[in-house]
Structure 1
Amino acid sequence: MLKIRLRRMGRRKRPFYRVVVSEATSPRDGRFVEEIGIYDPLTEPETVRIDVERALYWLEHGAQPTETARSLLRKAGVLKAYHERRKARKAEVQGTQG
């Protein structure tokens, strides 16, 4: 199963994170499929940059975000766009059936 999660980078006591899509069984800082964003908690305000189109692509293909990644996706507006797409697709399917 694919997960959207954080990969720790940076040096000791100065972390920043990359938001990546990786296999659930791979180590935290190990192999990943694609990098879709960054998160720097130490800047003021904290930096969150996510490639919305790629994040939506992976969510639609079944990638499950971890709790922390989910909160970052929510801040970036990705989850709202994902739910709107699902809602529109569901309405489209309902319209063609009935």
Structure 2
Amino acid sequence: MVVRLRLSRQGTRNNPFYHVVAINDSKPRDARPIEKLGEFDPVPRAPTAARLPTPFVGSSTTAAPGHGALMTSGLPPSAPTEQGQVLKQKRLEWNEDRIKHWLKLGAQPSKPVARLLDRAGLVPEGVHYKGIYRPPPAEHLREAVGKKGSS
């Protein structure tokens, strides 16, 4: 049984919302997962301070440890832009401990999840998943160009 970390689509038409789940590879996209690991909202929205984190499946507390990692543009969430508008951002909340647990057990992330994990710094050094592109260092490029020119 191959376990994958992938996105399960929720929400309505033209308003997508995804759950990050651990699920058997042969199951359909929206089938019941083994475990829900987080939530991803790809539509940029203004942050709301009144929104409470959603508890995860199997969690007896209101928020699991490591819960609440937000991917932002680096600006404070309530910082107005030059025009006085509030900055909108995509929301990503997940349980880092459980994601690391599933990766240690050998779960393979899908391409979109691998990109999200890479941006968050959860991909260990020396591990390469499909969907992550890291350009080679400049030193290797110079050596490759030098070898082509000498032949």
TM-score of the superposed pair, with normalisation by structure 1? 0.78
Unaligned runs of 5+ in 1: 87-98
Moved runs in structure 1, 4+ residues, more than 3 A?
none
Unaligned runs of 5+ in 2: 45-87, 128-151
Distance 1:53 1:77 in 2: 13
Identity of aligned residues (%): 37
User: Which position in structure 1 is the counterpart of 2:103?
Assistant: 59
Q: Comparing both structures, which one devotes a greater share of its residues to strand? A: 1
Q: Matches of residues 13-92 of structure 1 in structure 2 within 5 Å?
A: 13-43=14-44, 44-79=88-123, 83=124
Please say which structure displays the higher CA radius of gyration: 2
Contact 1:49 1:76 in 2 (8 A): no
TM-score of the superposed pair, with normalisation by structure 2? 0.52
1:30 maps to a residue whose letter is A
Coordinate RMSD, CA, aligned:
1.4
Structure of higher RCO (CA pairs closer than 8 Å, 6+ residues apart): 1
Shift of 1:77: 2.4
